[in-house]
Structure 1
């Protein structure tokens, strides 16, 4: 009996070690496809560069897509799967309906498949495209360890666990901690809002009905409110707002200046001023013109890209990114 118990305990420890290894991205490494598909990274970079040069506004959505993928089931490409008759997939969950740029992932996958069939995962391609797209708009380039495998499960309702734009600082810290990301990662990755746009509907309540009494969110700079209201009328669901007015297509440190002036677009941006650590970081970057932002962003993106990855024999290598094999 004692022997059986020891064997059972040993097996349990092996399983726990395996789960932790996968969760921490231990199976990933730089140059993973060096022997099996040596041109993979160059092919993805070339496709991304050609597409972003024609449509630079897609860089931000592609970065967001990678973030949304990693925060639901880990970085397993599940956000790329299409819904079926029997299942509504992540991309059709409310927070993901505004995602764009899937065609770039598909183009990169098609090109890589032509060179090395069945070798490179869609999850890895998404991680590479996000990095290459941001680099194309003069943002930082971070190392992308590879070896992710594709998940076979994608459920729309699970997208509700993504950090919402109206989250407070307590909720944000909890959500990031649940993914192995710390408070610094939270404030650094929020800096991704320096690029891109969002619909007026995401801030409608901040402008017109914050507490249900037709009021405005007091955390917004009162001098900035008229500008936002001139852009967004009540019930406007189509107009796009620049996340970082004046430089929403270039990756820079202006986001922190906006937040420090209480002009962050979302409540989740304003929430960064409600914590000592995040507030100090916002003010430091605003005052020093982003002296460490690019370097910090690289580090946090590498950490995020390792969340809950599937490696080894887990998952699969999809032939087409929108469908399981």
Structure 2
């Protein structure tokens, strides 16, 4: 498994400080005076096979405001993840500078030095929150390396380099553990999904084969009625006398699909006048365990009786 440290010249003397194990290879990529926005193009070709990358950069972005630095870090991390989405990213804090004891290209005035250290502190605070939110690692060695810089006020001393190496080595180990735990968790989740799938397939294999015929258009789904309350039953027309219908029990009950019972009120018939017969249609629908009878009376106005002189007449 490959781990990589990429950043500015502060990592120059750390190459021999990362012998973790025989199966773990650590590469140190140090680039002098590199800025945040320039680092990606220097390491992009080697990111595909890297499992963990630690970014230690930002010291050379002198004079830029914290929000600008954060935007540059976000762009750098995003481009790294585009190349290798499974890589574990760790960001190292920007180390504060000290007053230079000699004239060099890194020397800053007192005002510039104060402004840089203030901006670096604000940037580190925002950067730590950003890493915590997005699941990146963060290493803060600002306090440990205080006073451990060379006369130029920028690069760490030999003892400071050893201390920085210890901090970054611990970060690599932690990132490796997190990566392994994430990988094991993903494997367990995948195994559980496969186990659940096999269990469901064992329980419902017959149903799945039957349903597959519908999904693959081998068998059509049964036709459904447009009215869910409508029951289609074969009609059985018959003739019945009006007086026979009237003499049915007052408690005759028509069962409905809504599980409600309706008891129609049947008027008393006058047998003396002899109600004439009316054609009716009785539709029987048999459905175990109960028999449901739907009676539909069709009145035909052209054959309706009329009371003339006290006698019912058929027109």
TM over 0.5: no
What is the TM-score of this pair, normalised by structure 2? 0.20
The structure with more strand, counted as a fraction of residues = 2
Instruction: With the length of structure 1 as denominator, give the TM-score of the two structures.
Output: 0.20
- Larger Rg computed on CA atoms: 2
Greater fraction of residues in helix: 1
- Work out which structure has the larger RCO, using CA pairs closer than 8 Å and 6 or more positions apart in sequence: 1
